[in-house]
Each structure stands twice: as structure tokens, then as C-alpha cells.
Amino acid sequence: MLWSEVLTNPSLKDLPFKIELNRYGKIEMSPASNKHGRLQLFLGNLLERKLKKGAALTECSIQTSEGVRVADVAWCSNEFIKQHSYETPYSSAPEICIEVVSPSNSKEEMANKVGWYLQAGAKEVWIVWENGVIDYYDISGKLAQSVYVPIVKLPKLG
């Protein structure tokens, strides 16, 4: 299956799941909670407030070596947008790709996504865990903090 087919398939239109395609064109779905959605919005707003020369996106589709993956939040510089506009999926990853971990996600899946986004061109990948911890990565490995937004305080969501 191609990403354009996923986007236009009426039976996939209103599913309450995040949809991705693996490298074999098979659909993978993971359910998202309202807490997950709140964190996506919070992080997107944070990036737009702190990083003035670009735009945040939620549910950002990116072509990776492992198929089309959908970052929960991404930040694209103005230069990235000028080069790629809003192509779907992006042929390379925006500067920052963020995954908000859902209960159905495994540590192995998150580690793979870090690698796929970095390989696709992301400068940083953030993994936001349910306990509020954020892991930051760049091509050299795990970082103590983000180079783009050094201090991130997540809202308490109980």
C-alpha cells in the first residue's frame, strides 16, 4: 500500500489510531489517549513559542528506510518548509521529530524510531515517556538536553 492510498481510503478516515506504513506497505496502528493528544499540542505550541523561524506540525508523515512513520510532533525550519513545502509524506525528516510514548509502544520500537528519523535527516529526536521524562537524541547519541530547546517542562496531567 502507498501513503497516498492510506490518505484517500474512506475506511481509514475516522479511525482513532495513528496509522503508519512499514517498509512492506503494511498498515501499523497504535491507539492514542487524550493525554497523548494534550502532550502533542503542548509540545507543538512550545516549539512555536521558542523557535520563531519555523512551524510545528502534529502527525507529521515522513518517508524513512522502514516505511512511512508519523512523528507525533515535528518542527520544521522556514528553510525546510521552503524546500519541502507540505509534501506528504516528507521525503526527509524535519529538524526535530518527537514521539509521545503510548502504552502500546515498546522501548525497542522507540529506539528504532529514533534511528529511522535521524537516518532520514532529523537533527534531533525526542522521546517523551509517560512518566514525564524526555530523552533527546542526535546523530551522536543520547543528549543531556535539547540543543534547540534546552529546558522543557511538561504539564502535570495526573
In CATH, what number is assigned to the domain containing residue 127? 3.90.1570.10
Residues near 59 by Cβ (< 8 Å), separated by ≥ 6? 18, 40, 70, 71, 72
Tell me if 153 is assigned to some domain: no
Tell me if 10 is assigned to some domain: no
Per-residue pLDDT of the chain (158 residues; tens, 9 = 90+): 788 888 888 888 777 778 888 888 888 887 778 888 999 999 999 999 999 899 999 999 999 999 999 999 999 999 999 999 999 999 999 999 999 998 888 999 999 999 999 999 999 999 999 888 999 999 999 999 999 999 999 998 87
- Rounded to two decimals, what is the model's pTM? 0.90
Number of domains in the chain: 1
Cα 79 to Cα 43, 65, 94, 102, 122: the distances in Å are 21, 23, 10, 31, 14
Burial class (CB in 10 A: 0-12, 13-18, 19+), 115: middle
Single out the residue of 123, 94, 97 nearest to residue 110, CA to CA.
Answer: 97
Q: How many Cα atoms occupy the beta-carbon half-sphere of 88 within 13 Å?
A: 13
Q: Are 116 and 65 in contact (CB under 8 A)?
A: yes
Tell me if 95 is assigned to some domain: yes
Q: Rounded to a whole number, what is the largest CA-CA distance in the chain? A: 43
Tell me if 22 is assigned to some domain: no
Q: Are 68 and 5 in contact (CB under 8 A)?
A: no
Q: Residue 93's domain spans which residues?
A: 32-143
Tell me if 105 is assigned to some domain: yes
Tell me if 81 is assigned to some domain: yes
